[in-house]
Structure 1
Amino acid sequence: MKTTLKLLVAACIAMPFTAHADDSLVQRGAYLARAGDCIACHTAPRGKPFAGGLQMMTPMGAIYTTNITPDADTGIGRYSEEDFTRAVREGVAKDGHNLYPAMPYPSYAKINNDDMHALYAYFMQGVSPVKQANREPDIKWPMSMRWPLKLWNIAFLDKDVYHDKAGKDVAWNRGAYLIQGLGHCGSCHTPRGIAFQEKGVDESSRAYLTGGVLDNWFASNLTGEHNVGLGRWSEADIAAFLKTGANAHATAFGAMTSVINNSTQGLTNADIIAMSRYLESLPAQGGNGAPAYSYDPKATKVSLARPAAHDSGARVYSAFCMHCHGVDGRGFAPMLAPLAGNPNVLEKDASSLINVTLNGTDDLVVGGVPAPYPMPHYSSVLSDQQIADVLTFIRGAWNNNSQRVSVDDVAKLRKETQAPR
C-alpha cells in the first residue's frame, strides 16, 4: 500500500499539469502557437514538431533550439504553468539558466495571462511528447557563459504585458498586440544594438520595424516609408501578403516564407486585418534617402533583346531573369515578383538580394498548394562577378536608382551561407 502511494505521489510530481483543460482552451492555445510561429524555430528540418534542434546563427556562434514538447525528461513536461510563463516571458528555464535572446521573449513578454494559460494548455495537452535531448550551443568560452544574460535582461527586458492604447480602436490594438507580442515581428524587422538588443519594441521608437540584418538576410522595413517600406502598400496589399506571401509589390523569401507557411496564412481574417491596420498606421521611418520612387521604363537604357557584349549585368538578366521578371521589370505579380520598385531592390542593404540569388528560397505553400514558380538558386550557375553585375543592373534599372553590388559582398555571403554547418 505504501509503495503504491509513493508511486502515485511521484507520478503527480512528474505531471504538473494534472487538470485536464477543455478542448476549446487547447484549440485556442494551438491558434496562439500558430500566431507565434513556434513550430518554425522549434522544429529541425525533417524533425518532429516542436522537438527542437534547429540551428540558429548568432554573432557568438551557433545555437540550437530546444525541445518544447511535453516529454518529461528532454522537453518541458515537468514545467509548471509558472515555469512555462517565466521561460516564455523572461527567458529563464525551469532550472534557472537564462535563454539566449534569439528566443524572442522580449516580444513574448507582452502576452497576456489568458493567452499564456491557453498556450500552456496546448503545449502540455495538444502536443505529442518527443524524447529528444537538447544540443549544447557551439559557442566557445567565455562567450558561452550564461550569467551575463541576467544583466542583459535587467538592461533591456520590459516585463509589462501589452496594454491597449487610449484613442485607438479595437482592431488597431489587436493588431499591435499581435505584431509586437506573439508575432514578434520586431525580433527580425528591427535593427539591433551592440548588445544584440532590439533598438525599439513598439511604435514609440523611430527604429521600430525599420529593418534589420539577421542570418544573412535583410528583414524589410515595415513602416510607411515610401521606397523601402510599406508606404505604397494599401491595407489590402498587406493583408494579401500575410495570407499568401505575395502581392503586387513583393514576394516572401528567406525566413518570411516559413512565417507565411506556418503562421500568418492560418490566422483569422479579423486578425490579419488588425495586423494590416496597425502596420498601415506606422509613420515613415528609415529609408534610403532617395526621392520617392515612380516607375520609369525609359530609365533602362539598354536593349534587353540584344544587350551589348560589355554589359555583363544586362546579358545575365536577359539570359536568366527576364523570362520571369519581364523586360519591363514588372514581373507577373503575384506569381512572379516585380523588380521595378520592389522595396527589397531599393533597400540600401543588398543582403537579401544576394542571398536569394545565390540560394533561392523555399516553396511558399498556401492552402497545401506550393507556389508554381519558386526562385531557383544560381550559386552553381553564376559566378560572384556575374551575380554582382546582374544585381547592379537590376538596382539601376526602371528608375530603381539603388547602389551597386560589389563582387566582394557576393563572395562573402556565398562563403557564409554555403559553408558546412
Structure 2
Amino acid sequence: MKTTLKALTLSAALALPLFANAADDALVKRGEYLAKAGDCIACHSAPHGKPFAGGLQMMTPMGAIYSTNITPDAQTGIGQYSEDDFKRAMREGIAKDGHNLYPAMPYPSYAKVNDDDMHALYAYFMNGVTPVKQANREPDIKWPLNMRWPLKFWNMVFLDKGVYRDKAGKDVAWNRGAYLIQGLGHCGSCHTPRGVAFQERALDESGSAFLTGGLLDNWFASNLTGEHNVGLGRWSEADVAQFLKAGANQHASAFGAMTSVINNSTQAMTDGDIAAMSRYLKSLPAAGGSGGPAYAYDAAATKVSLTRPANDAGARVYTAYCMHCHGVDGRGFAPMLAPLAGNPNVLEKDASSLINVTLNGTEDLVIGGVPAPYPMPKYADVLSDQQIADVITFVRGGWRNGAGSVGAADVAKVRKATQ
C-alpha cells in the first residue's frame, strides 16, 4: 500500500511541471492571438525589418516619430519590464523609465483591455517573441515640441483609465464586439476624427464623432457608422465580416493601412470574434457624411466613357487606364476588383485616399498566404497631377456618385507628402 502511494505521489509530482508547461503554452498562445487582434506587429515592425523590433516611421502634425522595439531584448526592448510596467505602458502610455509615450501609441484604447488579456499579452511578448537588439530611434520633432512633459496634462484631460465594462441591455456578442473594436482593435485611432490636441473626439458610441472617419498620414480612414453613403449603411453584417476576413466585398476593397490590418490581424481572428465585431459596427447609428439622399446607381457615366472620351479629359484617362479593371459601368468585378460606383471611399467628401491610392497603389492583400491577384498599381510615374485630378473627378461625379471635384493642386500636395 505504501509503495502504491509513493508511486502515485511521484507520478503526480512529475506531472505538475507538464501541466504547468501546458498552461504556460496555452497562455502564450492566447497572448499571440490577442497581439494579432491588436495588430501590434504592423506598427512595431519597419518595412523589411524584424518583427516587433520597431523603427516604423509615423507622421504626426509635429513631425515624424518611430515605433519602439517591443521584443524582450533586455537592452533595447522591453525585456526588463515587469508585468505592471507593461500594463502601465499599455494603458497609460508611460514607459518603464517614466517618460510619456506619444498618443500615436493607442493607449487610450488599450486602457479598456482587461487584466486577463493583459496578462496573456505580457506572457506572449516575454516568452513568445524573439528578442532583437535594435536601438530605438529618436523622433524627428524639433524643440520645444519634442518635450514630453505636456503629455502628462494631455492624459489628465483625454485619458479614461477604466477597462471596458459590459453594457446593460446588450447581448454577449455585442459586448464582445464593442470590447474588441474599442480596445485591442483600436479602430477609433484611425477611423475617428482628431481634435486640435490630436485626441480622438470620441472613444465609444456615446460620442457622435466615434468612427465617423478620419484623416491620418495622407489616407482617409472611412466612416464605420450606419451612414448610408460613406459608411456601412448599405452593408450587411455578412458584408462586414467578409471584408474583415478577406479585405474585399461587393462594396469596397482594403487599401492603405487597412491592408496591413487585414493581412496581420483580422483574417487571423475567429469567426465568432469577427461576427461580434460586425454586430457591434452594424449597431452604430448613422453619423457623419453629407446627409444627402441614399446612393442609387446611374449608368449615365457609362455612356460618357464609351462615346465621349475625347471630350472629357477624365473619361479619356479612365478609358485608357481604369476601365479594364473597374469596368465600363464602374461596377468592377467584386470582390477581386473593387467597384467605383457607390463605393463609400469614392463618395467620401475627403478625396485623400483616392488620390493616394492612384498615386501609390496598394500593398498586396495576402489571405491565407496567397496574394490577391489584382492589386491596384501605382500611377505616380505614369500620370500627371492634372490627369489624376481629371480621372478622380470623373469617377467621383459619375454613376451618380455625386462627390466633389479634385484639382491638380490637391494631387500635388499628396504626391509631395508621400514621395
TM-score class, shorter-chain normalisation, is over 0.9
Structure 1 outlier segments of 4+, above 3 Å: none
Native 8 Å contact 2:190 2:215 kept in 1:
yes
Mean Cα deviation higher: 288-297 or 303-312 = 303-312
Count matched residues.
399
Contact kept, 8 Å, 1:325 with 1:337, in 2: the verdict is: yes
Q: Name the structure 2 match of 1:204.
A: 206
Which structure has the highest helix share of the two? Answer: 2
CA deviation string 1:264-321 (max 9, x = no partner): 00000000000000000000000123211011113x2743234342311000000000
Q: Deviations over 1:100-124 (max 9, x none)?
A: 0000000000000000000000000
Q: What residue number does 1:129 align with? A: 131
Residue by residue over 1:233-291, the C-alpha shift from the partner in whole angstroms, topping out at 9 and shown as x without a partner, is 00000000000000000000000000000000000000000000000000000012321
Identify the match of residue 117 of structure 1 among 104, 116, 119: 119
Gaps in structure 1 of 5+ consecutive residues: 1-18
Residue 305 (structure 1) aligns with:
306
Aligned with residue 36 of structure 1, among 35, 38, 46: 38
1:55 to 54, 57, 60: 57
Amino acid in the other structure paired with 1:367:
G
Q: Deviations over 1:142-167 (max 9, x none)?
A: 00000000000000000000000000
Structure 2 match to 1:347: 348
Which piece of structure 1 moves more, 175-184 or 398-407? 398-407
Contact residue 175 and residue 274 of structure 1 kept, 8 A: yes
Structure 1, residues 129-187: CA drift from partner, whole Å, max 9, x if none?
00000000000000000000000000000000000000000000000000000000000
Q: Which letter maps to 2:413?
A: K
Query: What SS does structure 2 have at the residue aligned with 1:309?
Result: helix
Residues in 2 aligned to 1:118 and 1:93: alpha-carbon distance in whole angstroms: 19
Contact 1:70–1:129 (CA<8 Å) still a contact in 2?
yes
Instruction: Name the counterpart of 2:174.
Output: 172
Give the structure 2 partner of residue 412 of structure 1: 413
Matched-pair contact (CA < 8 Å) for 2:302–2:330: no
Contact 2:302 2:328 in 1 (8 A): no
Write the mapping of 1:208-247 to structure 2, written as runs, cut at 5 A. 208-247=210-249
Contact 2:28–2:124 (CA under 8 A) maintained in structure 1 = yes
Q: Is the 8 A contact 2:182 2:203 kept in 1?
A: yes
Residues 1:308 and 1:332: Cα distance change in structure 2 (over 3 Å): closer
Residue pairs, 1:263-412, within 5 angstroms:
263-298=265-300, 300=301, 302-412=303-413
Q: Which amino acid counterpart does residue 46 of structure 1 have in structure 2? A: H
CA RMSD of aligned residues (A): 1.0
- Secondary structure in structure 1 of the residue aligned to 2:353: helix
One-letter code of the match for 1:340? Answer: A
Cα distance in 1 for residues equivalent to 2:232 and 2:357: 21
Say if 1:308 and 1:79 are closer, same or farther in 2 by CA, change over 3 A: closer
Indicate the SS of the match to 1:304.
helix
1:407 Cα deviation after fit: 1.1
Q: CA deviation at 1:406?
A: 1.2
CA contact (8 A) 2:37 2:185 kept: yes
1:96 aligned residue: 98
Structure 2 vs 1, CA of residues 312 and 80 (structure 1 numbering), >3 Å: closer, same or farther? Answer: same
Q: Is the 8 A contact 2:223 2:230 kept in 1?
A: yes
**Local SS of the residue matching 1:398:** helix
CA distance, structure 2, for counterparts of residue 144 and residue 24 of structure 1? 41
User: Aligned partner of 1:345: which letter?
Assistant: V
Q: Distance in 2 between matches of 1:187 and 1:303?
A: 40
Whole-angstrom CA distance in 2 between matches of 1:308 and 1:77: 61
CA distance in 2, matches of 1:202, 1:358: 34
Percent of pairs with identical residues: 80
**1:128 deviation in Å?**
0.6
